[in-house]
Every structure is written in C-alpha cells, then in structure tokens.
C-alpha cells in the first residue's frame, strides 16, 4: 500500500470526509471514464470538440470536474467517440 492509499484509508475513517467522498464519487468516475474513452480513441480534446461541436473549453471543464454535463451532452460526446452512452442504476 502506497502513501496515498494509506492517507485515503485514514481519511475515510472521518465521517465528514467519507460523506463528501461518496457525494462526489459519481462525478469523479464520470470524468475518469470520459478521459479514458477519449485517450483510448487517441483523440485530443480539440479533436473531440471538432467532431461534436462542443467547445474544447467545455470538454476541459467536464474532464476536470468543474461542470456537470447534461445527458444530452454526454450522448453527444459518446457519439463523437464512436460509443453509446449507457446509464444504469445498481
């Protein structure tokens, strides 16, 4: 276990930290998934912007977690990546 994992494990014992972590988990996973899909497609933000008509600055904001995209925006991004959007409850 590296230092970051040890630190995170210690922080997760704090109920306030744990609640905040859980509240932002979905957004973090969304941004991580989008970045992975884009890089696996060997595409820059600029190229994705050109394919989708979504400004590169908006894609950057989505990827760095400073804005929450609509479902319609996510569908457009998925199509630009040659993928389909799937949302599930589990």
In a domain, 11, yes or no: yes
pLDDT(43) > 90: yes
Domain count, the chain: 1
In a domain, 59, yes or no: yes
pLDDT(1) > 80: no
Contacts by residues 50-59 (CB-CB < 8 Å, ≥ 24 positions apart): 51/80, 52/76, 52/77, 52/79, 52/80, 54/80
User: Could you list the residue range(s) of the whole structural domain that residue 69 is in?
Assistant: 3-80
In a domain, 73, yes or no: yes
What's the CATH code of the domain at 41? 1.10.260.40
Rounded to the nearest 10 degrees, the angle between the axes of helix 45-52 and helix 71-80 is 110
In a domain, 88, yes or no: no
- Band of residue 36 on the pLDDT scale cut at 50, 70, 90: very high
Predicted structure pTM score: 0.80
């Amino acid at each position: 276990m590296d230092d970051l994992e040890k630190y995170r494990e210690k922080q997760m014992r704090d109920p306030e930290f744990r609640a905040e972590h859980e509240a932002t988990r979905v957004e973090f996973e969304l941004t991580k998934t989008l970045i992975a899909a884009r890089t696996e497609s060997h595409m820059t933000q600029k190229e994705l912007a050109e394919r989708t008509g979504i400004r590169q600055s908006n894609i950057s904001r989505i990827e760095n977690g400073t804005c929450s995209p609509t479902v319609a925006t996510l569908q457009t991004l998925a199509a630009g990546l040659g993928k389909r959007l799937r949302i599930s409850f589990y």
